[in-house]
Every structure is written in structure tokens, then in C-alpha cells.
A and B are shown apart, each in its own frame.
Chain A
Amino acid sequence: MIDRLTAALARSRADYTEIRVERTWSTAVTFRGRRLESATASEDQGGFVRALHAGGGWGVASFTSLDRLEAMVARADELSRAVPLDPAIRLADVPPHRADARLDLDGDVRGVPIAEKKRLLEAYNGAMLGVSDRIVDTLAVYRDEVSEYWYVNSQGTILHVLRPDVTLSGTAVARRDGTIEKGLESIGMRRGWNSVQDKAAGFRAVAERAVQLLDAPMVKGGTYPVILDPELAGVFIHEAFGHLSEADFVYENPQAREMMTLGRRFGKPVLNVGDNGAAPGLRGTLPFDDEGTPTRDTALITEGILVGRLHSRETAAALGERPTGNARAISFRHPPIVRMTNTYIAADPRGGSFEDLIRDVKLGVYACGAFGGQTMLENFSFTAAYGRMIRDGQVAELVKDVVLAGSLFQTLDRIDHIAADFRWNQMGGGCGKAGQFPLPVTEGAPHVRIEEALVGGDVGAP
């Protein structure tokens, strides 16, 4: 394959050309309630060419028939010539790399019969259903894939990578009369079959919580000190801040650049945020991004000050900064765009434990897990999976419908205490941007305290 791709590159008339080819084998099993909804195996293959002609914009071509490779290389060049651009696109320098990287498949999923995958998921689904007869419905999904990936560019980079991914998710729905509550479990690894064994306890736990939530009161809306658990803190930093640190948002938009000026204070000195595409063993981890740039750890906020952003080669050149290995595409159907990898709030080594965070909180909310979240730039809204009230420095009753809403800038600035108990959240799903979803990412954080945040269980009834 490499020979075929380099031969096609050699015939390109563009000043810069890159080709990606992927072949992906995947299986998916879905249970709804006690019923197997589907068990399917799929094969997907295709290629992507991107060309840049001096004085032109990007010409891109994607295709599923590899017979079309040479024609598509020529077409991408033509398209680049057809869109004159001044000033021209420049790419930051990245030394050429050659690599044949085989990530740890940890039990190659391609060697496991789909019947065995069904049995595994059936057990986890059964763990949810077995919790109580209050569990009236479940949805359990197993998904795996192995993607063989080739990348070449006209500057001499040649990569061949075998990328695994395996995810499990479970939704347990508990019901009593008109009241419906749910619990969500999600596991995702850039590994294989061995990494998803012995996970029943997590599925059981979310079903138990869904049942408990039937009796939980709705949180009383208002302003509280709020402690985010590591999962919600991770989702928060990814959604509310991470997307603004993607340089394609600012590089050609002076007003946005002003808002995100390096050196601007975003939080108190306790706040440190980064994105690390090279952290071992995580879903957002790869040796290279989809432009052939090695991934790395990039500091975004250091001691409360904005110090960095995430780049593709194009945005790095435009802003005179270093490429960070964050140009990613979900598949051969899409161009690489600036994306996060594994985004984190760093632990405060002197921050102590969760108990230290709540010790002096008289009345607060402990918000745990995430059902969902959306940001519209500076505004965000997150729904926690569940919450617990904090009363006189102690964790108290379970509460439901904990929705956090606010402005990013105000909220980041109100983070006043970060614990030392950092953990990565190895979840499934993924991130969406510009029609590219789901991109495997990971988030990590310790427990984080926001000194004051708006919590709306019922933001309606005034």
C-alpha cells in the first residue's frame, strides 16, 4: 500500500499533497431490554487526498474506491488551483517522520467471534436488569473496531498505524408510576477485548442509582458552592473551555483572538489546564495526528493564565506558534481540523482530598457524572447524572435534575480549590465539531470546587 501511495504522490502536480487511506473492521451489538436489537459486522474503506497549490486554497477529495486514487490526487490539485487565495495558506514546519506503529491491541477484537461479544454484553445488560424490577428498560451497546491506517505526504512523512478502539455503554431506565429516572455507564479504550472484561459492577451501579433517584428530590434551584466530580469536571473543561482553545476559532478572527489573547487571566493561580495527545493508553492518544505531526502535551492554562492553544500546521503557521499535533479527522471522509485529544485539569498536589474541598462548605452541591452538556461559546449548560447536597461539610442526601448553567469566563474564575485526586475518565462516545462525530477523546480532572455557581433543577418556575 505504501508503495502505491508514494507513487500516487510522486505524480501530484501540487506543491503539497497528502494521502490517507483507512480500512476499518467493526462490530456492534445492541440490547434493548432483554431483546437483542442487532449484532452486525461492517467493513469500511476509503481514502482522502488534500492538495495545496501555491496561491490556492485547499483542494480535497475523499472516495471509497481505491481504484480512483490517482484520479482523486489529480482532482484535489485542480480544486486547489480553482480557489485562489491571498494571502496564501502556509504550513508550519514539521520534520518528516517514518513510523510503523502498532498500538497495543490488547486482545485483537477481530479474532473474537461476534457471538462471544453478544454474550459479554448480555451479561452487562443483565447486571442492569437484575438490580430491581423497577428497571423497566435498558439499552446496552458494545462497539469495537480496528482501523489500519496509512498516511503519506509530499514532505517525506510515511506512517502506518493499526488503531484499535472498543466502547461499552449502558443506559438503565427506572420507573415508578409517572416518574422516570436513568443511569448511564460508559467505557471507552483505545485497546481491545481484554480491556472490557469484568465491567459488570459499573453497569450494576448505574442501575442502582437510577432506582435510588426515583426517591430523590429535585435539587432546589439557586446559587451554591459546587463541587464537580472528576467526570463532570473533565466534561466541563472539554466543552466549556477546550473548544475555545482550538486555534481555528481564533486564527483568522481578530475579535476572537482578542478574547483569547495569550496572557489573559482565566482563573485563579490554582487552575492548570492542558491537552495531551501522547498520554499513554487513552482514547484520545495517537503517535501522530492526521497531518503527520507527533502528538504532545500542550499547556493551555498555567496558574490561571492562558498560555497556549491547540494547532494544526496551518493555524500554527498563521499565528507563528508551534504545531501541537491536534489536526484530527474522524475518518477518510473528512479533512483534519483542530481537535482536542486528552484534555485535563491538572491536580493541585497540595489540594488534598475531596473531604478537604467540602470541609468548610456549609450548604453546597456535589455534582456527579454527566448526562450531557452543550456550550454556545461563552455560555454553557450541563446536566449532571446526579447530585448530593453538602451540608455542614458533609455529603448529605441524593438530589436529581442538577443542571449547571453559566458563563465560561465567570465560572472558570470562580474555581477556587482543586484536589490532588486526578483521574482520567475512560469513557466511550466522543466529541463533535463541524459535522465530525464521534471523535475519540478523553477527559481528566480531580475534584474541582467552584465557589459559586448557578444550579437549576427547575430553572422554569420563577
Chain B
Amino acid sequence: MIAQLVELAGRRADGGADALWRRFERTAIAFEWGRLKSAGTTEEAGANVRVRYRGRVGVAGTTATDAALELVDRARASAELGEELDLVFPAQVPLAPLTTFFDRAANASLDDLIGIGRSLLTRLERDGCRVNIAIERETTATSVANSAGAAGQYRSTGFGVSADVWRIAGDDVLVVSDAYEGADLPSDEALTALVASINARLDHALRVVAPPEGALPVVFTPAGLSALMLPVTQALSGKAVLQGISPLGAKVGQEVFDQRFSLSDDPLRVGRTSSRPIDDECVPSRVTCLVERGVVQRFIYDLETAARAKTESTGSGQRGIFGKPVPAYTNIVLNHVGAQHAAPLHLGGGLLGDIRDGLLVDELIGVGQGNVTGGAFSHPVALAYRIEGGEIAGRVKDAAVAGNAYELWKRVGGFGNDARWTGSRWAPSVLFEGVSVARR
């Protein structure tokens, strides 16, 4: 399919073409409020083609995969409206070997999925609570190719387990959730960790205490860290730099973050669902170091943003069936100096001991709203705990935290020993001093 599509597009467009073809099948089950309610299957295939025609670039996508000629003509019509762009399709380069397909995940049966669900349910059910669990496995075949002769194809697997426990008491609604996401079947340890994570946070949440107030030490869990990571990852995208809205746009080579803070995008991590040997524009995958010991190193680019910025793609092109490729992260990895792992893991990653009065934040409301790139944030808490005398005192409601991500990242109070994957981000808990905490 892909070879013919590129060949056809190459003939009908004078400036070359590239294409992506993807097919996946997925099996999913859902336990709703403690009962196995549904089982489903999905089969989907589609193609996305991009052409350069008379110096202009256009794209088109379809799930009607038998209509190649029509697809190419739509891409050409799209190009006729587009701006001129000196887009160069890359030549073939050897790919790094990377395992993306795991037989155990690919061959997991419906009964295997149900078995995992029932075992989790048994371990999560408790009086006064209701449990939702969703489990899915999928296999994907991806092919990319371009008219410069580059091509790549790979098969991959994905496995996801998510659970949330609901407790409604009067008008108090408490939801505690966690998820496993990986390319392989979860190990028993991974499932045990998921249960322990939910139960620990639920146990501490049963007691509601008054929130503290003032400029306080606040520990953000790996999940709670989103509000502080989002401005940074947005600012490190070449697209934001091109638009002139990135506060880091002119800071390459400068120390902007705490010296213990390093950040990279790693598409070659074995076992992650975002990992792949080649990006969706035929650029081989490689690790991109974004921040090294506090110093900004580089930004992520796809082919188009790289062409506009007169630089090279970092292999960060991501495209769906519809729409054009965009620069996107794969696995964001926060590395910090002195990384140590403690087992068993404790909520707070060992950072709570010296806190006389403070907050542990696991989830905030409204992350991503407002002017994220500027770094300022202000969010009510969805799930947070008061820390008193080095211990978790109980859950706080009606509190809000605020600050500026860039100011806070300049001086980190400490990194936890509990680094883990949250979706496609690897990070530990992080302690910041002097975060504004307000009562509502």
C-alpha cells in the first residue's frame, strides 16, 4: 500500500511526497462500578499522504484506503493553497535496533484481560467504594516511506490498565486512580504497585484536615508534577520557538533550571508505547537532550518546523491519519543528579521528613488552561494532602496552589526516590520551597 501511494504521489507532485500507513487492532474490557460490563474490539486502518507541489506543501488523510488516487489529488489540492516551503524529504539511514513488539501483549486473550481485571478488583474493593477498571491491549503495524527512498516499518504492541476508586460520602466525592501503560504485559510487580499506589493514597485521603496557608514547601508527586512540566515541555517545542512565544527560545546554552535538573526525549526506551525506531516522517529515532544539568540544550522539531527554523529535524514528527505532522514528544525523561530508588516506594518519595507544615499535591484542577507557556499557574487542588511534622496528616479540600514554574525550577528543594512512569513521562516527586498555598 505505502510504496504504491508514495510512487503515485511522487508522479503527481513535482516536489516529492511522503506517506504514513497505519493499521491497528485493539481488544478492550471495562469493569464499571465493580462489574464486568463490556468487551470490545477495534480494527482500524488509514493512510496520510503529504506532497510538495510547485514548492508548496499539502496533506490529506483517509480511512477509505482503497482510494489512493483521490487521496493524492486531495493532498495536491491542499498544496495549491499552501505557503511555499523548502521541505526536504530525508534519505534512507540505518535504524537503531529497537524491540517494539511483545508477543505476550500481542497474544493476550480476552480471558487474560478479564483475569487481570478480576484480580485488581479483588484487591481494590472496599466498603463504601466503587471501582472502575479498564484494560486494553493493541497491536499496530506502521509503515512510512518517502520519495527520496527512505522507508521504515515496524510492528508494536501496547497494553493499558487503569483503575479508579470512587468514594462518595454525603457531598464529598473522592476519586483515586492510577494506570499502567507499557508495550508489554504488566508484570505482577507492576500490578501490585498499581494497587499499592491507589490504596496508599486512598488511606491517607479518608481523613479530611484544614489546608495550610502561605508560602510553603510543596511536594508534587510524579502525577501532580504536570502543572510544572507542561510549561517547560511547551516552551521546548520548536513550534513555540518559531512562533516567538517560548520563554526559552533565546536561552540555549543558558542555565535556566536547577543544576540537578536534566530533561530528554527518548523514543528508544524499550517497553514504552511511544517508542519507535523511526518517526512518522522517515527520520530515524534518537535521544534528544533538551536540558542538561540546568542548561537549555535544544528544542524538538519535525521536518516542517525544522525547515522553517533552518535546522534539522530531531525525529519528532508525529502524524495521525488526518491532518499534518506536528513536532511531538515520545517519552519525556526527567533525570536528576543523585537518582536513587527506594523500595518499597512511599508516597512523597522520601521528601516529607523535613517538612514542618506543607502540602503534597497529587492532582490539580484545570492544568493546561490559561497562558501555560508563560509559566504562571494557579490551580485548585483535586487531590492533595497536608504534611505536618514530616507526616501526612490527611486530605485537604478547598485549597489552591500558585506559582511560576520557571521561578520554581530554578531552585528545587529536592528530588524524590520514587521516579516512575506517568503516561509517557518519567519523573520522581519534586519538592519546591515557597509555593503559594491559599485556602478557599
Contacts and interface: CB of A to CB of B under 8 A. Distances in A.
A406 interface: yes
Given A32-B243, A383-B370, A462-B436, A253 B40 contact: no
B403 interface: yes
Given A59-B38, A60-B38, A79-B39, A115 B81 contact: yes
A372 B324 contact: no
State which size class the interface on B falls in: 35 or more
Contacts of B228: none
Interface of A: 28-29, 32-33, 35-36, 38-46, 57-65, 68, 72, 75-76, 79-80, 82-85, 89, 114-115, 118, 136-137, 173, 180, 182, 252-253, 255-256, 258-259, 333, 335, 371-381, 383, 403, 405-407, 409, 454, 456, 458-462
Interface stretch (B169-177, B188-196, B310-318, B330-338): B169-177
B378 A456 contact: yes
A44 B322 contact: yes
Nearest to A403: B378
A459 B81 contact: no
Nearest to B111: A82
A80 B175 CA distance: 29
B113 to A, nearest CB: 10
Contacts of A29: 81
22 contacts: A32-B243, A38-B78, A38-B82, A43-B64, A45-B64, A57-B38, A61-B40, A62-B41, A63-B43, A75-B41, A79-B39, A83-B39, A85-B37, A114-B77, A137-B243, A180-B371, A255-B168, A376-B382, A378-B172, A380-B365, A405-B380, A407-B171
Contacts of A64: 43-46, 63, 65
Interface string B214-256: 1100000000000000000000000000011100000000000
Given A114-B77, A259-B171, A459-B400, A40 B365 contact: no
Chain A to chain B: the 8 pairs with minimum beta-carbon distance, closest first: A460-B402, A460-B436, A255-B168, A58-B38, A372-B369, A60-B40, A377-B173, A252-B33
Interface of B: 29, 32-46, 58-65, 67, 70, 74, 77-78, 80-83, 110-111, 114, 128, 130, 166-173, 175, 213-215, 243-245, 321-324, 363, 365-366, 369-371, 374, 378-380, 382, 397-398, 400-403, 436-438, 440
Contacts of A403: 378
Contacts of A371: 369-370
A253 B60 CA distance: 45
B50 to A, nearest CB: 10
A43 B82 contact: no
A378 B173 contact: yes
B37 A83 contact: yes
Contacts, number: 223
A333 B74 CA distance: 24
Contact of A333 (B42, B398, B401): B42
A378 B402 CA distance: 21
Contacts of A79: 38-41, 110
B43 A252 contact: no
A46 B63 contact: yes
Nearest to A33: B243
A255 B170 CA distance: 8
A254 to B, nearest CB: 9
The binding surface of chain A is classed by DSSP as: strand
Nearest to B33: A252
Contacts of A85: 35-37
Contacts of B379: 381
A427 B222 CA distance: 36
B242 to A, nearest CB: 10
Contacts of A258: 168
B369 to A, nearest CB: 4
B324 A40 contact: yes
A68 B65 CA distance: 14
Contacts of B244: 136-137
A392 to B, nearest CB: 28
A459 B378 contact: yes
Given A61-B40, A65-B45, A256-B168, A83 B29 contact: yes
Contacts of B74: 40-42
Contacts of A253: 33, 130, 166, 168
B60 A62 contact: no
A40 B43 contact: no
Given A58-B39, A333-B44, A45 B63 contact: yes
B332 to A, nearest CB: 22
Among A32, A40, A255, A459, the one with the most B-chain Cβ atoms within 10 Å of its Cβ is: A40
Contact of B83 (A35, A89, A137, A372): A35
Given A36-B83, A259-B173, 18 more contacts: A35-B83, A38-B324, A39-B81, A40-B74, A45-B63, A57-B39, A61-B43, A64-B43, A82-B114, A83-B39, A115-B80, A136-B244, A253-B168, A255-B166, A378-B171, A381-B366, A456-B438, A460-B378
Given A253-B168, A459-B402, A460-B402, A379 B365 contact: yes
Contacts of A59: 38-40
Contacts of A381: 365-366, 379-380
Nearest to B371: A180
Contacts of A80: 39
B39 A377 contact: no
A109 to B, nearest CB: 15
A72 B382 CA distance: 41
B100 to A, nearest CB: 22
Nearest to A64: B63
Given A82-B110, A459-B400, A39 B40 contact: no
Contacts of A459: 378, 380, 400, 402, 436, 438, 440
Contacts of B32: 252
A458 B168 CA distance: 31
Nearest to A375: B365
Given A40-B61, A255-B169, A335 B67 contact: no
Contacts of B245: 137, 173
A256 B129 CA distance: 11
B323 A60 contact: no
Contact of A36 (B42, B70, B82, B382): B82
Among A80, A255, A406, A458, the one with the most B-chain Cβ atoms within 10 Å of its Cβ is: A255
B54 to A, nearest CB: 15
